[in-house]
A and B are shown apart, each in its own frame.
Chain A
């Protein structure tokens, strides 16, 4: 019973994607959708296998992954740092928060012309876009997390002699962590979106480039493959972020049992 139950819980979330793909395959084979519009999933798979065998797929995957990872590390790191400063110091909040909030309200896509002027189609352009988009979700959630740490706990910890680094490490950071991780998950999702935009506009490698290049040669199967890869990569990074929550928030009632 419980084995069947676990199996059900494992498989149920994949039922809808599998059904969709099956329906798609059927519609393509039955001729309801032209292969120029949407090639059958089997053709997409074949294109994927061919690209994987030639090694081309891995090169593009790797470069897209690194762009996201480095861009996120820069943007998320800066967001965390700024959030910690404004969250913990009144002076920092006074000096920085207004500026950060103003920059936050610039849509990242509005920066594209400027970014191309600055960086051309260099790596810098992609990294800048990803970093810019991930900074603010992490910043806001870090700031909010620190502001919402229970003041009763801080008072208690101070009465037990904690101050400075131990107070931060044992009370303030763990108290803010649930909120920070929400920001991280949000930022990771956003990082992929911005990378796609950056890669489709100007790039000579990466999954976005793969898709744009395939479009030129009317290779719809590869275009669809690139789109599916983004979906899988997004899901994979979300799983990773959830794993972090499971490890760091294991004390939280929501993550027990």
Chain B
């Protein structure tokens, strides 16, 4: 073993300039600028169809922008060669592979020991030889997290990974993600519709409204955070009010050019 999986790695800084994504006549992201520093934990919130998942897919390179650019540590994303890992709302484990083999997916050589280590980090060491169908929903998401961690990602993208879990499992998973992030210090982008989750985890909460950044607010609470900490509830309420004051899918300031009918965006995602 020349290297261990669980060495703390350094996150990557992202610079997004003039990013736009259009689907036919619909513009889902308008001319978006965003800077994320290395190792930062950023939560992106917004209503359904606001373009937050599209932003994540663009950063994951599962989709290509209509305009604008994304740079990682100063080089364009496609040429940067950074290791980005994406976690989905469903765990997407291969049901015909054991938990251990799922974690080692795409690895060659002697990966078993590293996979066991990654499983131990998410607390599932004793489930290594089970089939995914024998695990609970929360456990499956933890396997997906281990599968992402084994690649020592510099950027971890989370697309509502806790959306399908029950309340208790969610809180457990939030704590696990926070602990692992504090250990590895990669950059995290978490897309969520749960403002409380965003405030509990992120250094910074970004609200996307109709394809633009509506709010960009730092969370200056010390970690580990509790829901009862001073300022937690106020911040959560402020962000939530801001989300709610917006009629669904309608931008707060009129767009510079008449881009699309506001009603159309409601059904965009």
Contact = CB atoms under 8 A, between A and B. Distances in A.
Interface of A: 152-153, 155-157, 159-162, 166, 170-171, 174-175, 177, 251-253, 256
Contacts of A166: 106
Given A156-B92, A252-B95, A170 B105 contact: yes
Contacts of A177: 96
Interface in B69-116: 85-86, 88, 90, 92, 94-97, 105-106
Contacts of A175: 96
Contact of B62 (A159, A170, A251, A256): A159
Contacts of B151: 160
Interface string B219-262: 00000000000000000000000000000000000000000000
18 contacts: A152-B90, A153-B94, A155-B62, A155-B92, A156-B88, A157-B94, A157-B105, A160-B105, A160-B106, A160-B147, A162-B105, A166-B106, A170-B97, A175-B96, A251-B97, A251-B132, A252-B133, A253-B133
A159 B131 contact: no
B269 to A, nearest CB: 16
B10 interface: no
Chain B interface size band reads 10 to 19
B60 interface: yes
B133 A152 contact: no
Contacts of A152: 88, 90, 92
B130 to A, nearest CB: 10
A253 B131 CA distance: 9
Nearest to A171: B94
Dominant secondary structure of chain B at its interface with chain A:
loop
Given A153-B92, A170-B97, A251-B96, 15 more contacts: A152-B88, A152-B90, A153-B94, A157-B105, A159-B60, A159-B85, A159-B86, A160-B151, A174-B96, A175-B96, A251-B95, A251-B132, A252-B95, A252-B96, A256-B131
Nearest to B134: A256
Contacts of A155: 62, 92
Nearest to A178: B96
Nearest to B98: A251
A162 B133 contact: no
A170 B131 contact: no
Interface string B21-51: 0000000000000000000000000000000
A181 to B, nearest CB: 13
Nearest to B108: A166
Most interface-central of A156, A161, A171 (chain B CB within 10 A)? A156
A174 B94 contact: yes
Contacts of B106: 157, 160-162, 166
A256 B133 contact: yes
Contacts of B147: 160
A256 B86 CA distance: 31
Most interface-central of B96, B131, B147 (chain A CB within 10 A)? B96
Nearest to A155: B62
Contacts of A252: 95-96, 133
